[in-house]
Chains A and B, each alone.
Chain A
Amino acid sequence: DTGVSQDPRHKITKRGQNVTFRCDPISEHNRLYWYRQTLGQGPEFLTYFQNEAQLEKSRLLSDRFSAERPKGSFSTLEIQRTEQGDSAMYLCASSSTGAGRMDTEAFFGQGTRLTVV
């Protein structure tokens, strides 16, 4: 499978626990995005990487959230001290810088559904 893969697909955790999600982008893609989606809403931008550099973080990303992409390949998103409001689908997407420095379209993984109880 050469698409974007995310692990785990589902995660149930108790409030206050830490969780970590992994995303493996399409191998030749240099850009990687994290989004959060709640029911009835479109995906909300959290952060993105170009290669290993984290270029932008949303104000939605509180201090409890951290993302890394250490070798410019896979990425992890960690949420510390989870709260019930963190329950959502966490989507990872990747794209590549195309001709004229325009991005290609983003391809999404199937997401990690987090439930905080």
Chain B
Amino acid sequence: RKEVEQDPGPFNVPEGATVAFNCTYSNSASQSFFWYRQDCRKEPKLLMSVYSSGNEDGRFTAQLNRASQYISLLIRDSKLSDSATYLCVVNKNTGGFKTIFGAGTRLFVKA
């Protein structure tokens, strides 16, 4: 089993739609959580951190459920420019911190 698993995708949605991505992680010692965005043939870039209380940044909402070891990302009012791959990222303590990425979920937003 992979340490970080995501919805396989791709998600094809029309502009204005709401879309949700899920991610599960296997190591309960995981300490911090992020969503990264990666455009085609570019490096990953931080989209937002994920806090236990849930957090929102404009159209993006991230939630964490430690008991279920589950992270989610909700995108409201999708824009064409949201088309990208969204990577779930977990930092875990293995005697030092290690950053583990999920395989990513591809999103295509169409006009």
Interface residues of A (CB under 8 A from B): 31, 33, 35, 40-45, 48, 50, 55-56, 91, 93, 95, 97, 102-103, 105-111
Contact = CB atoms under 8 A, between A and B. Distances in A.
B104 A42 contact: yes
A71 B50 CA distance: 33
Interface string B11-31: 000000000000000000001
Given A103-B32, A103-B91, A110-B42, A48 B103 contact: no
A58 B104 CA distance: 20
B43 A111 contact: yes
- Interface SS of chain A: helix, strand, loop or mixed? strand
A6 B8 CA distance: 30
B94 A56 contact: yes
A111 B44 CA distance: 10
B87 interface: yes
B101 A42 contact: yes
Interface of B: 6, 31-32, 34, 42-46, 49, 87, 89, 91, 94-104
A62 B107 CA distance: 34
Contact of A110 (B43, B87, B94): B43
B98 A42 contact: no
Contact of A102 (B6, B31, B87, B103): B31
Nearest to B48: A105
A93 B103 CA distance: 17
Given A43-B101, A50-B96, A55-B95, A108 B32 contact: no
Given A40-B103, A56-B98, 11 more contacts: A42-B103, A43-B101, A50-B96, A55-B96, A103-B91, A105-B49, A106-B46, A107-B46, A108-B43, A108-B45, A109-B43
